[in-house]
Amino acid sequence: MISEFSRPSDKDLNRLASLLGDRITKDEPIGPYTTYRVGGPASLFMRAMSVDDLHAASRALAKVKIPVLMLGRGSNMLISNSGFRGLAIALGPFAEQINLPSSDQDPIVVVGAMSSLPVIARQSVAAGLRGFEWAVGVPGSIGGAVRMNAGGHGSDMIASLLSVRIFHIERGIEANVSAANLGLRFRGSDLNDQHIVLSATLRLARGDKAEGESRLAEIVKWRRENQPGGQNAGSVFVNPVSGASSAGALIDGLGLRGHRIGTASISDKHANFIQADEDGNADDVVELMTFVRQRVIESHGIELRSEIRLVGFSAAISQEAGAIDQGAVSRNTQLESAFGSANNTDLSIPVPSFSEQLSDEVLAELKDAFDGDATPSANLRVVLPNDPDKSRDESRDESRDESRDNSSTTNSSLTLKTNNGRIVIVDEDLRLPVDSDHPIDEMTSSVNIAPTSDPSNIIRDSRIEARSKGVIRSLASNRRRLLTAAGSVVGVVALVLIVLASPIVGVRKVEIEGARYVSADLLIAVEKSLDGKSILTVDTRAAERRLEGDPWVESVRIKSFFPSRLVIEIVERKPVAFYIGVDNRSRVVDPQGRVLAVETGQPTQYLQITGVGPNLAPGASAGTVYKAAAQLAAGLPTELSDRVLNVGVGGPNQLVMTLRTGTLINFGPPIDLQNKLISLLVLLRRQDAKQIIAIDLTDPRTPTVKSK
Ligand SMILES: Cc1cc2nc3c(=O)[nH]c(=O)nc-3n(C[C@H](O)[C@H](O)[C@H](O)COP(=O)(O)OP(=O)(O)OC[C@H]3O[C@@H](n4cnc5c(N)ncnc54)[C@H](O)[C@@H]3O)c2cc1C
């Protein structure tokens, strides 16, 4: 890891900038990203809009080594006047998700790293959860809180943190790390600048909402009474060993409240807070920190340690101000091992040692879900490449190939082979056809012309012509009689129609079937428009069209039953998932990615498509990748559906899924989903998902699996 004190050359900075292109801004002032609101620029700054951006940064950093600084909400950080020479990264809105459980689920909350602590505290209480109220007055992000093991009011992150999803920027790998392996301690952890927290999983407790709310109010009140507002980063020094006085009390005891150096002063309200003036500068804050620390050493012999991260100051200045050397953080082997061995790039699962069959039911389910996608053959069978039966299987395969020419009923086999240590699923029948499989057939593009349509093929015959003339004469003599009869029939029919078109046979009863989500107002209006109209002339098509205008309605058929009943049969679209738009409102979508409803809360009865999506109105269709995510949500076979936490859009062309075990599945581009699900099922039957960190299904025939 490159220490933050190393000074990269202009050439290296420029090279990294050109590798990352327009993901990067140069000389971005990052003071405004902190609660101190002082300090200079970062030479390079990237707001990662997806994990893809982090991968891109990781690849670039593999070529050019420069220091990295992760920015959260900047509430525990002081940036020097000269700024940060390196790449500063902040996470975009994709990392601001808060997933709360529904009332019948375990009280597990999954939050994106940039989610704000006070928002999580309030939303969890509103959802009837207890245990995170302490964070309501801590203005940081969950990512910063994990790294700092933030806490207060008798609690801290350790109390509820189950696991964290981390992107290792040096190695370009994502992993779930259990809280126990993070080296969490009082206001610190073993995370360093290579570990980017993407999300955290918290276990809270179900509890009384009113009690939770009064606890929140109590904490907010205490904060207002005891802590200053304005520009600061909370407590400057960590409280020394337990049992001794707090850092604030030690400073207070020296009569330093209100003490000022330049634009920085010790708060009158809380002696462990150092305030910066509005037009202040970071050097004054650090000078005041050093002064205070020196006075405490002289008076009490206690060396206070800075709780605030000092960024861009020289090693000597940082040390005198009591900051720990970020580069000197010990390497936690348990934490590192979550990302696999550094020397071992083989992320595959061991070659499985048994055969596997997918049942007809599972395949039928997948076929139904992905109608139109490739249809897998039944009785998929895994054949091991080194299986003692291999030769037998191969010879069977050969004979199968031969018999295939004669019979189309032969089953196919799904073969697992190893390819440079990776599992390769080879199944010709599962493979979707590609253009090269079916070279364009010139013949099929031509139109066949029937031989009789060629005038030269019509044979003229004089007997046929004579018979035609006789028929015409007899028709003329009958015409007069027919006209008279037809006149009377038309008169009678017209009379009957006049009677039937009148409200004497009007619609008196309208029955509605299949309506669950359709707008009730619309139904009432349509019903009124039909009521009393003649059953024979009522314009049911207009009513159908009106109902079909509702985003929930897929199709409508209105049936008339003489003399006075109409039945409106409605087929509604099926809600399968929801995503959150940039405006923070949820969009419920059907398997076609069509927005059915826009809601302010999170409709937890559907699977969430994570990632921040477009702000669409009901009736509009989200892009292809959302459509694919919705289809994935709708097409999960029963065997998988209970195990899936969410599906997600990991980029403009990237589908992901998270299992309840925390396993991240990358589906890659949103194509070939049926085959990817089959690969996934086979893998999950073979390996305990709890042991799997990630599965990459970008190519369903060569899935890679990263195990713990
Ligand atoms: C008024 C006030 C009151 C406060 N009260 C408390 C309190 O009661 N208890 C307490 O513990 N703290 C308190 N703090 C300090 C601060 O709010 C917490 O430490 C908070 O958790 C920091 O989060 P952040 O997002 O602001 O982190 P930042 O300040 O942005 O960063 C802090 C550290 O975390 C790293 N980091 C940030 N995001 C990530 C990420 N996604 N992945 C990996 N590393 C990351 C940074 O590189 C840095 O090393 C207070 C601050 C203020 C201003």
Give yes or no: residues 613 and 509 share one domain.
no
Domain count for the chain, please give it.
Answer: 4
- Residue 344's Cβ-side half-sphere holds a number of Cα atoms within 13 Å equal to 15
CA-nearest residue, atom 52 of ligand 1: 234
Alpha helices by DSSP H, listed for 42-171, are 51-63, 117-126, 142-148
CA-nearest residue, atom 49 of ligand 1: 309
CA-nearest residue, atom 47 of ligand 1: 70
Residue 432 forms part of a structural domain: no
Give the confidence band of 409 by pLDDT, cuts at 50, 70, 90: very low
Kindly report the number of other CB atoms within 10 A of residue 282's CB atom.
26
If one compares 694 and 399, the residue with the highest pLDDT of the two is 694
CA of residue 523 to ligand 1 center, whole Å: 53
71 lines ligand 1 (CB under 6 A): yes
Report the distance separating Cα 475 and Cα 460, nearest Å.
24
Residue 54: CATH number of its domain: 3.30.43.10
Among 284, 319, 334, the domain-final residue is 334
If one compares 623 and 87, the residue with the highest pLDDT of the two is 87
Residue 43 forms part of a structural domain: yes
What pLDDT, on the 0 to 100 scale, is given for residue 373?
Answer: 40
Residue 289 forms part of a structural domain: yes
Residues with catalytic roles: 187, 235, 307
168 lines ligand 1 (CB under 6 A): no
Pick from 36, 147, 275 the residue to mutate for probing ligand 1's pocket: most ligand atoms within 8 Å of its CB. Answer: 147
Rounded to an integer, the average pLDDT of 625-651 is 86
Range in 277-291, 319-333, 390-404 with the lowest mean pLDDT? 390-404
Give yes or no: residues 559 and 620 share one domain.
no
CA of residue 551 to ligand 1 center, whole Å: 44
If one compares 194 and 428, the residue with the highest pLDDT of the two is 194
Residue 480 forms part of a structural domain: no
Give yes or no: residues 44 and 131 share one domain.
no
631 lines ligand 1 (CB under 6 A): no
Rounded to an integer, the average pLDDT of 644-672 is 85
Pick from 33, 148, 275 the residue to mutate for probing ligand 1's pocket: most ligand atoms within 8 Å of its CB. Answer: 148
Residue 118: CATH number of its domain: 3.30.465.10
Question: Which H helix or E strand runs over 414?
Answer: strand 414-419
CA of residue 72 to ligand 1 center, whole Å: 7
682 lines ligand 1 (CB under 6 A): no
Question: Which H helix or E strand runs over 685?
Answer: helix 673-686
Give yes or no: residues 514 and 630 share one domain.
no
- The owner of tokens 């529904």 is 102
Among 572, 593, 608, the domain-final residue is 572
67 lines ligand 1 (CB under 6 A): no
Residue 561 forms part of a structural domain: yes
pLDDT tens for each residue of 565-605? 999 999 999 999 998 887 778 899 998 889 999 887 777 77
Mean pLDDT, the chain, integer: 80
Give yes or no: residues 173 and 301 share one domain.
yes
Rounded to an integer, the average pLDDT of 500-525 is 85
250 lines ligand 1 (CB under 6 A): no
Rounded to an integer, the average pLDDT of 115-144 is 96
Residue 370 forms part of a structural domain: no
195 lines ligand 1 (CB under 6 A): yes
**How distant is the alpha carbon of residue 479 from its chain centre?**
75
Give yes or no: residues 83 and 101 share one domain.
no
Handedness of CA 668, 673, 679, 681 (dihedral sign): positive
116 lines ligand 1 (CB under 6 A): no
Strand partners, 205: 130
Report the distance separating Cα 389 and Cα 393, nearest Å.
6
Q: Are 267 and 257 a contacting pair, CB within 8 Å?
A: yes
Residue 203 forms part of a structural domain: yes
Rounded to an integer, the average pLDDT of 63-73 is 96
What pLDDT, on the 0 to 100 scale, is given for residue 2?
Answer: 63
Rounded to an integer, the average pLDDT of 560-566 is 89
Handedness of CA 457, 462, 463, 466 (dihedral sign): positive
Give the confidence band of 348 by pLDDT, cuts at 50, 70, 90: very low
Report the distance separating Cα 499 and Cα 493, nearest Å.
10
Query: Which residue in 196, 291, 307, 262 sits closest to 38, CA to CA?
Result: 262
Residue 593: CATH number of its domain: 3.40.50.10960
Residue-range definition of the domain harbouring residue 656: 577-671
Give the confidence band of 3 by pLDDT, cuts at 50, 70, 90: low
Range in 3-12, 17-26, 183-192 with the lowest mean pLDDT? 3-12
Report the distance separating Cα 102 and Cα 607, nearest Å.
11
Q: Which atom of ligand 1 is nearest to the CA of 35?
A: 53
Report the relative pairing of strands 161-168 and 195-203 from DSSP bridges. antiparallel
> Euclidean distance between the first and final Cα of the chain, in Å?
23
Give yes or no: residues 292 and 319 share one domain.
yes
CA distances from 244 to 31, 150, 241, 445 (A): 34, 20, 6, 89
Give yes or no: residues 515 and 615 share one domain.
no
pLDDT tens for each residue of 471-492? 555 555 667 777 777 777 887 8
Pick from 38, 47, 69, 75 the residue to mutate for probing ligand 1's pocket: most ligand atoms within 8 Å of its CB. Answer: 75
Give yes or no: residues 307 and 275 share one domain.
yes
Question: Which H helix or E strand runs over 479?
Answer: helix 462-501
